[in-house]
Structure 1
Amino acid sequence: MRVISGEFRGRRLAAVPGANTRPTADKVKESMFNMLGPYFDGGDALDLYAGTGALGIEAVSRGMASATLVDKAYPAIKVIKENVGQLPHPERFTVLKSPVDRALKTFDEAGRQFDLIMADPPYAKQEALAQLALILELHLLAPGGTVMFETGMDVVYPDVIPGYEKVRRQTYGVAQVLILKQSEAE
């Protein structure tokens, strides 16, 4: 596992030991970011279910000003801190040990908004539609911001997701990636 492109390109990232964390394959990660931009000009990213921190690290490497990496598992937090610590600018990252829904409410209370929200939940515990609704309800997406969810193929997205416009949906074997923007009406 490595950083694909940008400022930190080629840096190897440590993996979380055991089978509880499923890192996004480099090929899929590269495709996901190519669909998103592939490069950014500042902004704040939020990486939910961060695992190794690879998505948030990739976002900052490609031009995001900062990233907040959230995971509730101690082994994941330990690896995220290790991965961020080996980068030239670790101060551009915030690591938060918390369940995702609690973290989202904490960000709301602090008035935080993000330009890019990425989520790669464990396939057995996917609550994508509920979390998309919560992101809108808590006003966590900055104007013009983007949300990217990677889920298993068993998640069936409706044709219309209230509050969002679908930008793209792509499948990769057992995974699918959905990219959304907040609807103009919101």
Structure 2
Amino acid sequence: MRVITGTARGRVLKELEGLETRPTTGKVKESLFSIIQFDIEGRRVLDLFAGTGQLGIEALSRGAAECVFIDRRADAVKLIQENLALCRLADRARVRQGDALPYLRSGEKFDIVFLDPPYASGLLQQALTDIAAFDICRPHGIIVAESAADTVLPDMPAPYSLYREYKYGKIKLTVYHRGGNEDAE
């Protein structure tokens, strides 16, 4: 598992042992960052269900201003901190241990949100519902959700909308966009 490009390009990230954490595959990660490549620079990122932290670290390496990493596992939080130090990106990161869903009520706003919970947990659907309910994305924000290819995800209410789905074998990336404040004048 390597950082693809940017300031930490080529750095090999440490992984968690066991089967509880399933890192995003290299092919899917490359595709994901190809989709949002022009939307990263200077943005605030949330890596919810962060695991190894590889998605947020990739965003920081590519110029994101800040990333908040949330994971419930103490070993994952420690590993994310180690990976951030290895990539010299810790100064632009905040790592929090705890359940992901309550964090969505924090009032913080983000430009990009990565969602990659355990596939069969039901957490992805609830996270999408809560993101819309608490409106955590800034205008023109992007949500990227990774799931099993056959997972049906809910529609999100305005100002959120489905942008596109991408399938890679057994994995699906679903991208949602938040509209701007076009109606506010």
Q: Shared fold (TM-score greater than 0.5)?
A: yes
Q: CA deviation at 1:89?
A: 3.1
Alignment deviations for residues 50-97 of structure 1 (CA, whole Å, 9 cap, x no partner): 000000000111111110111001121121111011122311010010
CA contact (8 A) 2:132 2:156 kept: no
User: What is the correspondence of 1:1-186 to structure 2 with a 5 Å cutoff?
Assistant: 1-38=1-38, 40-105=40-105, 107-108=106-107, 112-157=108-153, 160-163=155-158, 164-183=160-179
Give the AA of the match of 1:115. D
Q: CA deviation at 1:128?
A: 2.6
Give 5+ residue unaligned stretches, structure 1: none
Alignment partners' CA distance in 2, 1:39 and 1:12: 24
Give the AA of the match of 2:96. L
Alignment partners' CA distance in 1, 2:143 and 2:91: 24
Give 5+ residue unaligned stretches, structure 2: none
Alignment partners' CA distance in 1, 2:171 and 2:89: 31
TM-score normalised to structure 2 length: 0.91
Alignment partners' CA distance in 2, 1:63 and 1:131: 26
- Say if 1:38 and 1:8 are closer, same or farther in 2 by CA, change over 3 A: farther
Q: CA deviation at 1:136?
A: 1.8
RMSD between aligned alpha carbons?
A: 1.7
Name which of structure 1's ranges 35-44 and 87-96 shifts more when overlaid on structure 2.
Answer: 35-44
Alignment deviations for residues 136-172 of structure 1 (CA, whole Å, 9 cap, x no partner): 22121011110000011232135x4322222221111
CA contact (8 A) 1:46 1:67 kept: yes
Runs of 4 or more, structure 1, over 6 Å off, are none
Name which of structure 1's ranges 115-124 and 132-141 shifts more when overlaid on structure 2.
Answer: 132-141
Name which of structure 1's ranges 162-171 and 58-67 shifts more when overlaid on structure 2.
Answer: 162-171
Identical pairs, percent: 36
Counterpart of 2:113 in 1: which secondary structure? strand
Give the AA of the match of 1:77. V
CA contact (8 A) 1:45 1:68 kept: yes
CA contact (8 A) 1:126 1:151 kept: no
Counterpart of 2:140 in 1: which secondary structure? strand
Alignment partners' CA distance in 2, 1:126 and 1:33: 25
- Say if 1:90 and 1:115 are closer, same or farther in 2 by CA, change over 3 A: same
